[in-house]
Structure 1
Amino acid sequence: MRSVSNRTRVGLLAGFTAFAAVLSTGSATAAAQLNGHWAPFNRCPVDAPAMLAADGVNTIATCISSSSASGSIKLGSSQVPTTRTDLQLGVIQRSDGTTTLVAPPEGALVADSAAIPGGLLGLMCPSGIPLVSSICRQLTDANLNKVTATIEPAGAPRDFNMAAAFSTGEPILTIPVRIHLKNPFLGDTCYIGSTSNPVLLKPRNMTAPTLSLQQFEGDGTPSDTGEMGRYTFSGADQADTTFAVPGANGCGAGLLNWAVNLKTGLPSASGSNSVKLNDTTTYFGSPYDPASLAPDEGKALSRFWHSAVR
């Protein structure tokens, strides 16, 4: 891990800490089980063409994994807790300091959906509108009342600021997202935000993480002389309170958009919304000395990853 400076690596990693939750795509489906220090990188896209093409000198292929067990997001007047989240990406680092992100086939983020407190009763009821009142009267069944929220990607992350990753209080990157609300009455196409009008989150470090370095063999076994290196950042919090939130769309085939907006106070201007993730752990892994594997560093990274699969 010597041919790109420690400062560059630390900054890149810090930019992807707590905000796993703000790009959730649903519960994980299939992921490899990896040995030893490889374990956090079980969805790293090591076989993507861009990763395999890294030469170890001009371009270096690396893996990033970030997870958080808890947090919250406030949209207008509604606050929803976040649960388990997992962000994983491949990163191509260039010698000129620029980077390219590579997502796993199933998407960069997976997370458990969060239940909205109070369910549909809390989201829309009571109401003086006959249509909504009719729905409210039927919500004695817990399954009919339950509303889950999953925050999904609504575009490619952008505006990465390396310098902000070393400090606190400055935006690190922009992440377009939308919030998917699910309930039998709302249907399966109810969203807050959209791909054309997303929520634009700009995470920033609120606390500095604690850094440690682990070295390990290609198959994940800990070793002071191993081919692989892993930075571990723990205990970091990140937040954003600057984003605006558009109104709901597609709820109840569009008939209930206004009801969701009215109860939750949407659209909501910047300063009325917030997101926070607590006590994250982030890992950043690549060959300890990428140049020694030139011109096939990316291929070696893939080979090491596959050798660690249980």
Structure 2
Amino acid sequence: MRSVSTRKRVGTLAALTAFGALFSTGTATAATQLNGHWAPFDRCPVDAPAMLAADGVETVATCIASSSAGGSIKLGNTEVVTGSTDLQLGVLQRSDGTTSLVAPAEGALVADSATVPGGLLGLMCPSNIPVVSAVCASITNADLNRITATIEPAGAPRDFNMGAAFTTDVPILTLPVRVHLKNPLLGDKCYLGTTADPILLKPKNVTAPSLSLQQFAGDGTPDDSGEMGRYTFAGADQADTAFAVPGASGCGAGLLNWAVNLKTGLPSASGNNNVVLNDASTYFASPYAPASLAPDEGKALSRFWHSAVR
């Protein structure tokens, strides 16, 4: 793991821990089971063309995985407790210090869904406004009341600051997102934030993670002289308390935007919102000496990964 500097590689990993913290909700899907130290990387896109093309000298292909058992997100007056999250990406690290990201075909992030407390009744009811009171009267069962919140990407990440990964209280990157509120009565296009006006999250370390290094054989078996290396970062809490949240759009075909905004306290200025990820565990794996596999480091990474499949 030496062709691209260790500091740069560790910085990329720590920064991407924040990715997992802030893209949170969705439905977890079954993934491939891998042996030994490969286990956290069960969705790494090792067969993506860009990953396979890495030569191990000018470009090094690596896998990252970041997970947390839970956290929270507060938007305006509403706070949602998030469940487990899992981020996995391929990372291409170049000798000039630049990086690019490769997502798995099914998407980089999967997680437990988050339920909005009180559901639609808590969000909009009671109300003496006819259009809203009519909606409130139609909520006759738990399915109609339940709202889930899904954080979705709303643009490409930017403003990556590698040095911020080694310290606290410095933004690591800017992450444009939107929050999809799902409920039968709100319709399928109810969002907080849009691709044109997204929520801009700028995560930073609140506590520094602990770091350890494991070396292992290509098939994942622990081996102090193995071909693969894995950095493990544990115990990092991350947060952003400085982002603004725009008003709702598309709720009830647009007729209920104002009702959602009124009860939720949106739009909400910077300082009134926050995202927290508790006790994240992040892993970063690549060949221990990628240059020794040139010009086929990416292909070797894929071969090792597949050899670890149970």
Alpha-carbon distance between aligned partners in 2 of 1:29 and 1:70, rounded to the nearest angstrom: 17
Runs of 4+ in structure 1 off by over 6 angstroms are none
Which secondary structure state, in structure 2, belongs to the residue aligned with residue 133 of structure 1?
helix
CA contact (8 A) 1:116 1:149 kept: yes
- Counterpart residue number, 2:60: 60
CA contact (8 A) 1:57 1:294 kept: yes
- Counterpart residue number, 1:162: 162
CA contact (8 A) 1:19 1:238 kept: no
Letter in 1 for 2:194: S
- Counterpart residue number, 1:209: 209
Question: CA-to-partner distance for each residue in 1:38-95, whole Å, 9 max, x for gaps?
Answer: 1111111111111111111111000110001111111011111111111111011011
Q: Please say which of residues 297-306 and 4-13 is displaced more in the overlay.
A: 4-13
Alpha-carbon distance between aligned partners in 1 of 2:110 and 2:227, rounded to the nearest angstrom: 29
Which secondary structure state, in structure 2, belongs to the residue aligned with residue 79 of structure 1?
strand
- Displacement of 1:26 in angstroms is 2.0
- Counterpart residue number, 2:6: 6
For the pair 1:225 / 2:225, whether they are aligned, the reply is yes
- Counterpart residue number, 1:74: 74
Q: How many residues align?
A: 310
CA contact (8 A) 1:55 1:296 kept: yes
Which secondary structure state, in structure 2, belongs to the residue aligned with residue 180 of structure 1?
strand
Question: CA-to-partner distance for each residue in 1:235-283, whole Å, 9 max, x for gaps?
Answer: 1000001111111111111111111011101111111111000000000
CA contact (8 A) 1:25 1:153 kept: no
Which secondary structure state, in structure 1, belongs to the residue aligned with residue 171 of structure 2?
coil
Which secondary structure state, in structure 2, belongs to the residue aligned with residue 188 of structure 1?
coil
- Displacement of 1:30 in angstroms is 4.2
Letter in 1 for 2:50: A
CA contact (8 A) 1:37 1:230 kept: yes
Which secondary structure state, in structure 1, belongs to the residue aligned with residue 189 of structure 2?
strand
Question: CA-to-partner distance for each residue in 1:162-213, whole Å, 9 max, x for gaps?
Answer: 1111110011001111101111111111111111111110000000001111
Q: Quick one: structure 1 residues 239 and 25, their matched pair in 2 at CA, closer, same or farther if it must change by over 3 Å?
A: closer
Q: Please say which of residues 201-210 and 9-18 is displaced more in the overlay.
A: 9-18
Give the 5 Å matches for 1:89-128. Answer: 89-128=89-128
Q: Which runs of 5+ in 1 are unaligned?
A: none
Q: Quick one: structure 1 residues 14 and 21, their matched pair in 2 at CA, closer, same or farther if it must change by over 3 Å?
A: closer
- Displacement of 1:28 in angstroms is 3.0
- Counterpart residue number, 1:272: 272
- Counterpart residue number, 2:300: 300
Alpha-carbon distance between aligned partners in 1 of 2:112 and 2:251, rounded to the nearest angstrom: 21
Letter in 1 for 2:132: V
CA contact (8 A) 2:25 2:114 kept: no
| TM-score (norm: length of structure 2) | 0.97
Which secondary structure state, in structure 1, belongs to the residue aligned with residue 190 of structure 2?
strand
For the pair 1:263 / 2:258, whether they are aligned, the reply is no
| RMSD between superposed Cα atoms in Å | 1.2
CA contact (8 A) 1:18 1:67 kept: no
Q: Please say which of residues 236-245 and 17-26 is displaced more in the overlay.
A: 17-26
- Counterpart residue number, 1:20: 20
CA contact (8 A) 1:24 1:153 kept: no
| TM-score (norm: length of structure 1) | 0.97
- Counterpart residue number, 2:46: 46
- Counterpart residue number, 1:145: 145
**Percent same amino acid at aligned positions?**
79
CA contact (8 A) 1:22 1:152 kept: no
- Counterpart residue number, 1:192: 192
- Displacement of 1:138 in angstroms is 3.2
Alpha-carbon distance between aligned partners in 1 of 2:137 and 2:21, rounded to the nearest angstrom: 33
Alpha-carbon distance between aligned partners in 1 of 2:102 and 2:30, rounded to the nearest angstrom: 18
Alpha-carbon distance between aligned partners in 2 of 1:101 and 1:218, rounded to the nearest angstrom: 23
Q: Quick one: structure 1 residues 83 and 25, their matched pair in 2 at CA, closer, same or farther if it must change by over 3 Å?
A: closer
Q: Please say which of residues 176-185 and 5-14 is displaced more in the overlay.
A: 5-14
Which secondary structure state, in structure 2, belongs to the residue aligned with residue 164 of structure 1?
helix
Alpha-carbon distance between aligned partners in 2 of 1:113 and 1:213, rounded to the nearest angstrom: 32
Letter in 1 for 2:269: A
CA contact (8 A) 1:21 1:151 kept: no
Q: Quick one: structure 1 residues 127 and 141, their matched pair in 2 at CA, closer, same or farther if it must change by over 3 Å?
A: same
